[in-house]
Amino acid sequence: MPFKKSVKLGLNIDHVATLRQARGGREPDVIRAALEGIKGGADGITAHLREDRRHIQDRDVFELKRVISVPLNLEMSIEKEIVKIASKLAPAKACLVPERRQELTTEGGLDVISGKNKIKQSVARLQNQGVEVSLFIDPIPKQIEAASETNTDFIELHTGSYANSTGASRKRELDRLLRACQFAHSLGLRINAGHGLNYDNVKPIARLPYMVELNIGHSIISRSVFIGLRKAVEEMRDLIREV
């Protein structure tokens, strides 16, 4: 096992915007939420500008970039309009995700094998603006191989199947993620992970070799209803650092 440095926490604030959009007003304030999260120890802020703008809006991402002191990670599809906005915004990082309008959340990883050329073009366009790019993919060797052929800087491993499994199948999913980390590292890729991670299941993921950053949203925002956002972030940060 390599030397374990501390794993970073990217706080996904989409659901603060979900709540705001429910009434179409200004509350809760997404920027204030990001600043609270940073006070709680978030190493980065993640926001998904979806094509249907169901939560995060264009003005949010431009304001976030202006105001926050930590890297902004823009989750985005590779649709032309969104790539254009991302190129103008030039966030520190971008994570390319598949997007279907009917889905509740990002349901699977990108199919890099079949979309390689288009993805490669988006990666290059963003990197030209100084953006560090990541591809959200399932822990499947052929997808990892295809990702490395796009010249992406990072992959973000989809932890949804791990999070949704129990018992022996959770162990199998964890092994799959472990092998994915080893394989990606051997190809020179850097590795993040996310989706469905919570206070109970996060530690084994934070312990995976070569893990750089975990992007977590739903569980932290849910807990913040009861204990406040700063404290909810602190608790998660402590869990992933104490591995």
Window 34-73: contact mask with ligand PXP (x via CB under 6 A): --------------x-------------------------
- Residue 155 interacts with ligand PXP (CB under 6 A): yes or no: no
Instruction: Closer to ligand PXP by CB, 9 or 168: give it.
Output: 9
CB–CB of 174/207 below 8 Å?
A: no
- 149-166 burial: b if 16+ Cβ within 10 Å, else e: ebebbbbbbbbbbbbebe
- Residue 119 interacts with ligand PXP (CB under 6 A): yes or no: no
Contacts of 117 (CB under 8 A, 6+ apart): none
Confirm whether 55 is a catalytic residue: no
- φ and ψ at 167, to 5 degrees? 55, -135
Instruction: Closer to ligand PXP by CB, 105 or 114: give it.
Output: 105
From 75, 99, 156, 234, the catalytic residue: 75
- Residue 197 interacts with ligand PXP (CB under 6 A): yes or no: yes
Of 28-36, 143-151, 191-199, 229-237, the segment contacting ligand PXP by CB under 6 A is 191-199
Binder of ligand PXP out of 77, 122, 215, 224 (CB under 6 A): 215
- Residue 97 interacts with ligand PXP (CB under 6 A): yes or no: yes
Q: What's the rounded Cα separation, in Å, for the pair 63 and 17?
A: 13
Cis peptide leading into 28, omega within 30 of 0? yes
Instruction: Closer to ligand PXP by CB, 1 or 205: give it.
Output: 205
Tell the smallest beta-carbon distance from residue 71 to ligand PXP (Å). Answer: 15
CB–CB of 144/183 below 8 Å?
A: yes
- Residue 95 interacts with ligand PXP (CB under 6 A): yes or no: yes
Confirm whether 195 is a catalytic residue: yes
Q: Specify burial of residue 225 (Cβ count, 10 A radius: 0-12, 13-18, 19+).
A: exposed
Binder of ligand PXP out of 20, 50, 55, 195 (CB under 6 A): 195
Confirm whether 75 is a catalytic residue: yes
Tell the smallest beta-carbon distance from residue 216 to ligand PXP (Å). Answer: 4
C-alpha dist (Å) from residue 71 to 127, 139, 172, 226, 241 = 15, 25, 33, 27, 19
CB–CB of 16/224 below 8 Å?
A: no
| Interface with ligand PXP (CB under 6 A) | 12, 14, 48, 75, 95, 97, 105-106, 136, 156, 194-197, 215-219
